[in-house]
């Protein structure tokens, strides 16, 4: 797709009747976000020399230096930062235009999706495998993070949608059911000398960060009966389990990924250990009406 730039500064050599491919603008915004030509090239499936040549051509077309190449890696100039910011807005309008032109059973354009870290490793590969056939006109960029961070990014427009652990309602966001996942308790087998409930009460509880979506769910399920150690890494929690430090409650699939032969995986009577994963989108955003096209791929 081509866009015509009608507003130009008097000190640039750029012509009013010039046309520019948005691919170069997309590359520029990626570099501005990542800060590296090399990493941007890898993510865009381009060679480093192709990215460099593309940026030089863009500078010549605009008649302004976008990068200060006395630094390694090159840094955006003030003009470069301004152009990158404007390019982001232009690309957003391009994506909105493509989305408006797509039939209701199709998605077209580039979509930025977030995945909560404790689910992305399981959901993202299958999504990628199915999306190519189901949504051939759509392209996707991904990032992972904690539920509250991803929801804030969606609300601010940094992401188009995100898969997060269901929590309370958030003004401006819509939630679409994705799947229910079982949670499970885990402890070193040496700690399992009595029943599940007694084991939970007798040892420190390894709590995944309670400010996160899954952390809030876990905190609401497990009563405060003893010491609680708060950690923000599933891998760290499971290493503590292996070291006989305490008991935890996590997504069962995460426990199984890190468990060894001495890890006991169990349920506690009276605790319904499940979590809901949802796709969150902005209320009123065109994607909200088409969210089912994404949720069916998980």
pLDDT in tens, the chain (298 residues): 333 333 333 344 444 334 457 889 999 999 998 889 998 888 888 899 999 999 999 999 999 999 999 998 899 999 999 999 999 888 888 777 766 666 567 788 889 999 988 788 888 899 999 998 899 989 999 998 888 899 999 998 899 999 998 877 788 999 999 999 899 999 999 999 889 999 999 999 999 988 888 888 899 999 877 899 999 889 999 999 999 999 999 999 899 999 999 999 999 998 888 989 999 999 988 899 999 999 999 8
Planar angle of CA 59, 80, 114, nearest 5 degrees: 115
SS3 of 50-67: the string is: HHHHHHHHHHHHHCCCCE
CATH 3.40.190.10 for domain 181-272: no
Q: What CATH number belongs to 109-179+277-295?
A: 3.40.190.10
Question: Is 2-101's fold the same as 181-272's?
Answer: no
The domain limits of the chain are 2-101, 109-179+277-295, 181-272
**Where in the chain does DSSP place strands (E)?**
2-4, 19-21, 67-68, 75-76, 109-116, 138-145, 161-165, 173-188, 205-208, 228-231, 247-251, 263-266, 274-282
Q: What pTM value is reported for the model? A: 0.60
Cβ count within 10 A of residue 13: 11
Fold of 2-101: Arc Repressor Mutant, subunit A (1.10.10)
């Amino acid at each position: 797709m081509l866009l015509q730039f009608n507003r130009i500064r008097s000190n640039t050599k750029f012509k009013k009747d010039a046309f520019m491919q948005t691919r170069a603008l997309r590359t520029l915004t990626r570099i501005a976000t990542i800060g590296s030509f090399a990493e941007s090239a890898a993510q865009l499936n381009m060679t480093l020399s192709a990215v460099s040549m593309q940026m030089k051509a863009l500078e010549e077309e605009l008649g302004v230096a976008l990068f200060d190449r006395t630094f390694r890696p090159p840094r955006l100039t003030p003009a470069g930062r301004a152009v990158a910011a404007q390019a982001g807005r232009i690309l957003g309008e391009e994506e909105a235009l493509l989305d408006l032109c797509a039939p209701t059973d199709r998605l077209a354009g580039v979509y930025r999706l977030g995945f909560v870290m404790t689910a992305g490793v399981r959901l993202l590969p299958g999504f990628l495998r199915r999306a190519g056939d189901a949504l051939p006109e759509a392209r996707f960029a991904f990032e992972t993070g904690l539920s509250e961070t991803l929801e804030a990014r969606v609300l601010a427009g940094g992401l188009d949608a995100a898969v997060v652990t269901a929590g309370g309602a958030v003004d401006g966001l819509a939630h679409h059911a994705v799947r229910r996942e079982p949670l499970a308790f885990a402890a070193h087998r040496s700690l399992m000398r009595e029943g599940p409930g007694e084991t939970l009460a007798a040892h420190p509880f390894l709590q995944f960060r309670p400010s996160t979506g899954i952390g809030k769910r876990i905190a609401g399920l497990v009563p405060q009966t003893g010491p609680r150690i708060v950690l923000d890494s599933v891998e760290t929690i499971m290493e503590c389990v292996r070291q006989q430090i305490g008991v935890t409650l996590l997504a069962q699939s995460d426990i199984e990924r890190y468990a060894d032969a001495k890890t006991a995986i169990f349920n506690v009577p009276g605790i319904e250990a499940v979590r809901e994963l949802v796709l969150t989108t902005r209320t009123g955003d065109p994607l909200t009406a088409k969210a089912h096209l994404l949720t069916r791929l998980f």
